[in-house]
Structure 1
């Protein structure tokens, strides 16, 4: 056994963060649309839960978009 094996942290690779975040935004938008479609079959209580969850999803999208701007700026300044 190798008891003295050294472990190294993986390097911070942020090169595809913008694309990953954009994909997350798209997936969240699709989830909102699917949830809205399901509301026609939902009870009042279920509709309220769906609306609350979609509100949280919209907040997440805003945060993702802000992070996309930060990452794009970092890429422009650091990843030339």
Structure 2
């Protein structure tokens, strides 16, 4: 028998994911700054593009978080 769908912790999980993604973005930015002289233009561009994808992911996660919070408020 399958487990029931427990979505009660979704907002917390999404918040954690946002936090980790932001941390990764900041670490990549700091690394690029600290090692800029040692990095090729291609490597710098890769970090920039990856951080752009991270920013887009965070925007989507924030929308998802709003939906989850609204859903929980309406189902209480």
TM-score, with structure 2 as normaliser: 0.90
In the alignment, is residue 56 of structure 1 matched against residue 53 of structure 2? yes
Give the 4+ runs in structure 1 shifted more than 3 A.
Answer: none
In the alignment, is residue 66 of structure 1 matched against residue 63 of structure 2? yes
Alignment partners' CA distance in 2, 1:27 and 1:39? 18
Alignment partners' CA distance in 2, 1:54 and 1:61? 10
Match of 1:24 in 2: 17
TM-score, with structure 1 as normaliser: 0.86
Match of 1:5 in 2: none
Structure 1 residue ranges without an equivalent (≥5): 1-7
Which structure shows the higher helix fraction? 2
Quote the RMSD (CA, aligned, Å).
0.7
Structure 2 residue ranges without an equivalent (≥5): none
